[in-house]
Amino acid sequence: MKFLLPVLLLVVLAVACKPAKVETQPEVTPPVEVNEAIPFAGDWLNEKYFTLINEKRSPRDAQEKVENVFIQIPGHTKDTTVMVYGFHESGPDIVVVKKNEQWELWEVQGDSLDKKAWTAQVIDADHLQLGEDRFVKINSAHGAYHEALILEEILFKGHYKLKGGGDVEFKNTGEVTGLGKYKYYRVLSDYLDAGLDVNQVWLGESRDSMDYYGFKSKEKSLDIYHLKCLEYNKQDNRCDQVDFGKVAYSLTRLD
């Protein structure tokens, strides 16, 4: 029995030194019944993507380097939006809520808030921080399906001189003048499919029927190419691998 006291003492000391269990408080879900105007509503483009387009002028290369690439912040907290991932897919529905004077973006399931996705920090009128990503505001036009015409705004929009004579204007609305029969254009942003091996712009007499071209863009010039098929898929009746063919239009930027 002479060893019993020290053993009991050690047990008591061990229990006494064990850290107390910390009770974690669940995050309080902000209310959703209030429908407030969002002061930073608009089209927001990841600044890294914006910089890559302005420096390298290649949507195909830029797509591979940016995940959270674009979000349309709605006008009111009751409206939903989504984060666009790499211009290839989108995430779950998101609403913007205000909690203790702080704006937050929450994922929603049905009519209920699910989990917080980002805290929004408004840096200034043209810059927004969402988590680790910084976004810039762009004044893009919107297409027939309310999609933002992003590359039309930041890459193609402007006046050009056509080699051989003639003036060409690419509008941010997806309209073009000065290219003969073509009245509309679309700059491709998603290249994650077969037959999209080079940067592409589609030209059409209407928005619903367009011809596919490749392009190379520099600060003061724009060359539009016919596409050359390198590998044709007979089963799917399409070209699985393309390259630049002959130049179709060579333009010099005026503004």
Task: For residue range 42-62, list pLDDT tens digits in order.
Answer: 999 999 999 999 999 999 999
**What pLDDT is attached to residue 173?**
97
What are 187's strand-pairing partners?
Answer: 201
Q: Rounded distance, CA 101 to CA 17, Å?
A: 41
4: enclosing H helix or E strand: helix 4-17
Q: In this predicted model, what pLDDT tens digit does every residue of 183-212 receive, in sequence order?
A: 999 999 999 999 999 999 999 999 999 999
Mean pLDDT of the chain: 89
Write down the pLDDT at residue 32. Answer: 53
% of the chain with per-residue pLDDT over 90: 82
Distance of alpha carbon 215 from alpha carbon 134, whole angstroms: 29
Give residue 7's pLDDT: 33
> Where residue 145 falls among pLDDT bands split at 50, 70, 90?
confident
Amino acid at 120: A
Segment holding 204, helix H or strand E: strand 200-204
- Half-sphere exposure of residue 230: CA atoms within 13 angstroms, side-chain side: 10
Amino acid 146: pLDDT: 87
3-state secondary structure of 80: strand
